A and B are shown apart, each in its own frame.
Chain A
Amino acid sequence: MELAFVIEKFALVIVIFSVSLGVAAYSTLAERKIAAYLQGRVGPARAGWGGMFQPLADGAKMFFKEEIIPTQSNHFLFIAGPSLALLTALIGSAVIPWGQPLTFGDTVIQLQVADINVGVLYIFGVVSLGVYGVMIGGWASNNKFSLMGAIRAASQNISYEIAMGLSIIALLMVTGSLSLKTIAEQQSGFVNWNVWVQPLGFLIFIICAFAECNRTPFDLPESENELVGGYHTEYSGFKLGAFLFAEYINMFVSGAVMSTLYFGGYNFPFMNNLLEMGVHPNLVTILGILFLLGKIFFFIFFFMWVRWTVPRFRYDQLMNLGWKILIPLSIANIVITGIWIVVKEIYFK
């Protein structure tokens, strides 16, 4: 029994890792294609049909490039930086419920690696660890541009984590649970999605997600026209690839978190009607997984859309937005949510 459990979870972890790595690899192609579309170009079109094999070619190029470790750098931390970035990007997906349980006769397979009762806080903890890879890598490079990038990453992440946490608190007041599984189950159908009761909270959350993923307009840590390459100036070969890859995995995971917290997770409209009509539950579950992936892909598209639309902030604008606009707004959101809950208790019962 114990062994079967371990094997089941292990298989699930491997599937989730390979899906997130595959999605991240093809996000690089999608990014270039979307950029090309928005700028009236064709984009990568040589490798395979419509550039289908471009990510493989890029990956092979990264592997075969010469790895240069600067002599004046701190060798151990120089290697630890990108490893940590990739690690913290990947472990976030452990608590996300990917679908309702699959049933095969007597065996029930949970499509969630770990249903811990502090799931939301776990996500938050992983997000707050995410900055270490960038900081350690940037510092260990022993380059002033890298150091500037690392310091910018640290201050930016700390500033936006506060607003993110406060927007999550307003959400938790509505859901009353910290477990992502329970939160996903509460949002069955379409009208129960949390985004309809927490629109302001979702707006704050997605802005902070942009900042935590270091995506434009918040990509000051690697702003290439001031800092050469920011924190990864000295990196080459697959260590550079690990940093870039971690960014795309972060986008995938944050898309999954946003879908689960605000957009119903694996729930889709008329799901219960399908079950009542007698469609096999496993089929509905697979449909739910596809819907979740669709929501995630929409968020990834949104990340890219914004990247090629909005220019980068100046540093003082970034800090003003974080501390003077988002934090007061999210505190106001908490107060409004509290009043709304009380009014609902009294008048709409």
Chain B
Amino acid sequence: MPIFSLKENWSGKIIQLMNLFYLIAFLSIFFSLLVIFSKNPVYSVLYLIITFFTLTIHYILLNAQFLAIVNFIVYMGAIMVLFLFVLMLLNLNEDSEPMKSNLIKIAGVVAGLCLLVTLIGSFRALADSDPVILKKPEIGLVKNLGKVLFNEFLLPFEVSSVLLLSAMVGAVLLAKKEPKKI
């Protein structure tokens, strides 16, 4: 009997988690739609920040704490601040938004629908979705993630760091003032 009750308890927890997942997933999609539909670009960025926050909750639900907190710091805390910074400097308003011709709008709709069809097709080609059971549920913790990154995936990890460094050098080079050629 105890085993049975344990199982019951476990499935109850899964149902709770699934309900939480559906709520958070609904919120992510809701706020990402608001990002697209709001007229004011500053509002768009603020909705995008909330979307990233819901994604952080998704990572916590997946037991990927490190990824969650890095998403929190890098996307919510740094990149979105820069977005907001640029938008505030430009001070775009609803009236100053450039008018787009109808042709571009139709082209955008067609391209978006094509992307949707491709995505649905590729997902249909895969197997039907089933509840994912993680092989190593502890993989998202900092300690295990660090060990995996520095043993199995050392080369890709280092190569991506070189990539980031080259991007940084490029940005500095672009921002540098040209010496006067006289």
Closest chain-B Cβ to A35's Cβ sits at a distance in Å of 32
Interface residues of A in 130-170 (CB under 8 A from B): 131-132, 135-136, 139, 147, 150-151, 154-155, 157-158, 161
Closest chain-B Cβ to A34's Cβ sits at a distance in Å of 32
Query: Considering only CB atoms and an 8 Å cut-off, how many residues of chain B contact the other chain?
Result: 21
Contact yes or no, B76 A151, CB < 8 A: no
Q: A125 contacts which chain B residues (CB < 8 A)? A: 69, 72-73, 76-77
Q: B42 contacts which chain A residues (CB < 8 A)? A: 139
- A128 at interface by CB-CB < 8 Å: yes
Contact yes or no, B65 A150, CB < 8 A: no
Contacts A118-B142, A135-B84, A139-B42 given; does A128 touch B78 at CB 8 Å: yes
- A287 at interface by CB-CB < 8 Å: no
Give the docked Cα–Cα distance between A124 and B78 (Å): 11
For B80, the closest partner residue in chain A by CB is A132
Q: A117 contacts which chain B residues (CB < 8 A)? A: 65, 141-142
Contact yes or no, A155 B73, CB < 8 A: no
- B111 at interface by CB-CB < 8 Å: no
Give the docked Cα–Cα distance between A235 and B91 (Å): 21
Q: In terms of DSSP, what is the predominant structure of the interface of chain B?
A: helix
Contact yes or no, A158 B73, CB < 8 A: no
- A319 at interface by CB-CB < 8 Å: no
Give the docked Cα–Cα distance between A158 and B86 (Å): 13
Contact yes or no, A135 B81, CB < 8 A: yes
- B115 at interface by CB-CB < 8 Å: no
Give the docked Cα–Cα distance between A129 and B65 (Å): 18
Interface residues of B in 62-121 (CB under 8 A from A): 65-66, 69-70, 72-73, 76-78, 81-82, 84-85, 88-89, 91
- A113 at interface by CB-CB < 8 Å: no
Interface-central residue, A77, A132, A147, by most chain B CB under 10 Å: A132
Q: A128 contacts which chain B residues (CB < 8 A)? A: 73, 76-78, 81
Q: B78 contacts which chain A residues (CB < 8 A)? A: 128, 158, 161
Give the docked Cα–Cα distance between A124 and B91 (Å): 29
For A172, the closest partner residue in chain B by CB is B142
Q: B73 contacts which chain A residues (CB < 8 A)? A: 121, 124-125, 128
A sample of 13 more A-B contacts (CB under 8 A), given A121-B66, A125-B72, A128-B76, is: A118-B66, A121-B70, A121-B73, A125-B73, A125-B76, A127-B77, A129-B77, A131-B81, A132-B84, A135-B85, A136-B46, A154-B88, A158-B81
Which residues of B pack against A, CB within 8 Å? Answer: 42, 46, 49, 65-66, 69-70, 72-73, 76-78, 81-82, 84-85, 88-89, 91, 141-142
The 10 closest A-B pairs by CB, nearest first: A128-B77, A125-B72, A121-B69, A154-B85, A125-B73, A118-B69, A139-B88, A118-B65, A128-B73, A154-B81
Which residues of A pack against B, CB within 8 Å? Answer: 77, 116-118, 121-122, 124-125, 127-129, 131-132, 135-136, 139, 147, 150-151, 154-155, 157-158, 161, 178
